[in-house]
A = this chain, B = another copy of it.
Amino acid sequence: MQPTSPRQGSPYPGLMMDFPLTVQHVLRRMEGIWGGKKVFTLIDPDTGACAERDFRDVVARAGRLAHALQRLGVRPGDRVGSLAWNNAQHLEVYLAVMSMGAVLHTMNLRLHGDQLAYTVDHAEDVVVLVESSLSGQFAEVLPGLESVREVIVIDDFSNPAPELPSALDYETLLEREDPNFEWPHLDERSAAALCYTSGTTGDPKGVLYSHRSIILHALAMSGADVYGITSRDRVLALVPLFHAMGWGLPFICGLVGSDIVMPGRHLKPGPLARLIADQRATWSAGVPTLWLDLLQYMDEAADAGRSHDLSSLDTILCGGTAVAESLIEAYKTRFDADVIEGWGMTEIFPGATVDRGSMSAARTDGGTRRKTAGRVSPLYELRLVDVDGTVMPNDGVAVGALEVRGPAVASGYFKSDAATAAAIHDGWLRTGDVGTVDSTGQLRITDRAKDVIKSGGEWISSQDLEVELLAHPAVREAAVIGVADQRWGERPLAFVVLGAPATESDLKTFLMERVARWWVPEHFEIVDEILRTTTGKFDKKILRAQFDERH
């Protein structure tokens, strides 16, 4: 399994072509058989106007960009940064940089300035492509960056970039280049992209994806029971391209030939509702909050006598945090759309578990349905270990630390031996998630390891409590943390955002019927908002700090 293990098995290599798994195969499919497929980019949230470009043109422009980057001195292995929302140009940057043998660092625009600068310094980006609406943000960090030789501004149709006066213009660069680029032969194990985790503690850590891992992930996800995207789908890519390769959607859509709808930076529910309705999007992926906001917007719009036809929606993949059963029900009832859950990480791509297939079957099994994050996907292997690292059974009962392995799983972090050593255990990656796996490979995440509440020698799952609270009709959002307790060690404390009136007592009574009595928090804090991390997860570090300050 490990790189150091000796070659075993048959001394005969199979007589099959040594055809590398690289992004260039996707590029050739997009240029060839899927040349007529479209990328729509929302450019005016008020009118819903989209820029439209077919795959053939996207690839031709990627060819021009590769020439331009080469002319700017970008060589194989060089890191090239992108700071952009989801649009056709970002897709061009993906294809060009990776296919020419350079490494695309997808910069997380939600990082604070110093963290953003840290990632560019650490990656040693030589060229950075910045969307014009983000040029102000980038101009603030640019003066301190040593590796960046050139900045290219991508005009997103809305915003000039006076903050970056010496930057090159993307369209001007492309105009003077030839669309035909002779893509070099690439080793499938060579690096294609670099994405930094946005952990709430310590410096961001870099995950260096190989071409092979990107293609294998895309293949595994294209399964009928996994993402299930087909050439008749029109995929709305809400999940940012800077999060774990946009959950692989650029490559999956390029392989299977589905149209792509890009929302640009317009992620408010109004523009999204119109975009879905106008472009007849069938498949989408994003964090649950977006879908919750969209639902609320649809209610308000209906009250105001406006409506959008979202009936084209067929499948919505959610990940990042637990999904409320009420959200799943609402999308099924109102739009006949299936909300499916998945689990992944920057280090392992999204979709390491996902289960489009048995979703409907499982739904009839009400009580357990919402608790699964899906079944382990092809090419992924999961195991649970206890605190000593001993492997535990996949019986759906034993709760353990989750470890994963496979060809699309990180073996370490870029230029960080210490983080690598801490992450790898016996050839498996420690995910930092805690949960159960049943005998059919269904994963149930009960917590992040650091969020588990240790009370009276037992574990309480903060996530299970959140899911139960979300089942209450008045609860819009819920986050549970552990707080110090003299008698029990820790006790749960619930932060709740209400959508309708409810008292602490109501919530306690509600929980009493649903979880063990000793799990029910003594204290609730009714708040207007719960802060989230840049990836849409509750920022429990801040919640804990807020609590500590007051007590």
Give A residues with C-beta under 8 Å from B.
1-3, 5-22, 25, 28-29, 32-36, 76-77, 101-103, 184-187, 189-192, 207-213, 216, 219-220, 222-225, 228-232, 255-257, 357-358, 361, 375-376, 378-379, 381, 394, 405-414, 420, 427, 429, 439-441
* Contact B5–A212 (Cβ < 8 Å): no
User: Which of A22, A184, A185, A211 has its CB near the most chain B CB atoms (within 10 A)?
Assistant: A185
Residues of B within 8 A of A429 (CB): 17
Please name 11 further chain A to chain B contacts, defined as beta carbons within 8 Å, in addition to the given A12-B208, A32-B441, A256-B378, sorted by A numbering: A10-B76, A10-B101, A13-B187, A14-B189, A14-B192, A15-B191, A19-B405, A29-B378, A29-B441, A219-B379, A223-B256
Residues of B within 8 A of A439 (CB): 32-33, 35-36
* Contact A18–B3 (Cβ < 8 Å): yes
Docked Cα-Cα span, A225 to B22, in Å, equals: 21
| Cross-interface CB contact of A18 among B1, B9, B219, B222, cutoff 8 Å | B1
* Contact A190–B232 (Cβ < 8 Å): no
Residues of B within 8 A of A13 (CB): 187, 189-191, 210
* Contact B224–A228 (Cβ < 8 Å): yes
User: Which of A6, A381, A420 has its CB near the most chain B CB atoms (within 10 A)?
Assistant: A381
Residues of B within 8 A of A187 (CB): 7-9, 13
* Contact B223–A220 (Cβ < 8 Å): no
Docked Cα-Cα span, A231 to B374, in Å, equals: 13
What's the least CB distance linking A451 to chain B, in Å?
A: 26
User: Which of A2, A16, A102, A361 has its CB near the most chain B CB atoms (within 10 A)?
Assistant: A16
Docked Cα-Cα span, A469 to B29, in Å, equals: 35
* Contact A209–B255 (Cβ < 8 Å): no
Docked Cα-Cα span, A262 to B455, in Å, equals: 53
Docked Cα-Cα span, A12 to B36, in Å, equals: 34
Given contacts A3-B18, A186-B9, A210-B13, contact A223 B225 (CB under 8 A): no
* Contact B224–A9 (Cβ < 8 Å): no
Residues of B within 8 A of A413 (CB): 15
| Cross-interface CB contact of A208 among B15, B186, B223, B358, cutoff 8 Å | B15
**Nearest-CB residue, chain B, relative to A441:** B33
Docked Cα-Cα span, A3 to B56, in Å, equals: 29
* Contact A77–B223 (Cβ < 8 Å): no
What's the least CB distance linking A338 to chain B, in Å?
A: 14
Docked Cα-Cα span, A34 to B439, in Å, equals: 8
What's the least CB distance linking A181 to chain B, in Å?
A: 14
User: Which of A3, A35, A191, A209 has its CB near the most chain B CB atoms (within 10 A)?
Assistant: A191
* Contact A10–B77 (Cβ < 8 Å): yes
* Contact A378–B210 (Cβ < 8 Å): no
Residues of B within 8 A of A427 (CB): 17
* Contact A190–B18 (Cβ < 8 Å): no
Residues of B within 8 A of A7 (CB): 187, 190
What's the least CB distance linking A378 to chain B, in Å?
A: 5
What's the least CB distance linking A442 to chain B, in Å?
A: 8
**Nearest-CB residue, chain B, relative to A228:** B224
**Nearest-CB residue, chain B, relative to A220:** B219
* Contact A409–B1 (Cβ < 8 Å): no
* Contact B407–A21 (Cβ < 8 Å): yes
Residues of B within 8 A of A191 (CB): 10, 12-15
Residues of B within 8 A of A357 (CB): 230-232
* Contact A410–B16 (Cβ < 8 Å): yes
Residues of B within 8 A of A232 (CB): 357-358, 361
What's the least CB distance linking A179 to chain B, in Å?
A: 17
Given contacts A101-B8, A213-B16, A223-B223, contact A33 B375 (CB under 8 A): yes
Given contacts A1-B20, A14-B208, A358-B232, contact A219 B378 (CB under 8 A): yes
What's the least CB distance linking A240 to chain B, in Å?
A: 21
Given contacts A1-B20, A20-B1, A406-B17, contact A12 B213 (CB under 8 A): no
Given contacts A231-B225, A376-B33, A379-B219, contact A76 B11 (CB under 8 A): yes
User: Which of A2, A9, A187 has its CB near the most chain B CB atoms (within 10 A)?
Assistant: A9
What's the least CB distance linking A315 to chain B, in Å?
A: 11
Residues of B within 8 A of A208 (CB): 12, 14-16
* Contact B225–A256 (Cβ < 8 Å): yes
What's the least CB distance linking A423 to chain B, in Å?
A: 10
What's the least CB distance linking A450 to chain B, in Å?
A: 24
Docked Cα-Cα span, A255 to B185, in Å, equals: 31
